[in-house]
Amino acid sequence: MADDLTIGEEAVPEEESVDGFIEYTSIMDYVTAAAAAWQMSAEIDTAILNKSDERRVKRMKRQALRIMSTCLNDLYEELFDDNNDSSDSADD
């Protein structure tokens, strides 16, 4: 009687492998996009815009400035890391 009891097993399909890669955005891509957004928003005549569009343009400038500042700070820290022993230090 114990032989009559079987537990059904469902066939589990094998996972399909997907070949792909993750493309990271470089710091220079961020700076370039932010600079383009800054330049574009600087050329917009806010006198002809309604208040919501004017706030949108100001927000774009603020965001672009923040992106550029953050990325440039990261680049500066990478280039001029005070923790690294470099040949151009004043202690030599």
Q: How far apart are CA 36 and CA 54, in angstroms?
A: 18
Domain boundaries, the chain: 24-79
Global pTM value: 0.60
pLDDT score recorded for residue 82: 73
H helical segments located in the chain: 27-42, 51-79
Pairwise pLDDT comparison (86 vs 21), residue with the higher score: 21
**Model pLDDT for residues 17-74, shown as the tens digit of each residue:** 767 777 788 888 999 999 999 999 999 998 899 999 999 999 999 999 999 999 999 9
Give Cβ neighbours of residue 88 (< 8 Å, ≥ 6 apart): none
Question: Which amino acid type is present at position 82?
Answer: D
Asked if 35 and 68 touch (Cβ cutoff 8 Å), the reply is yes
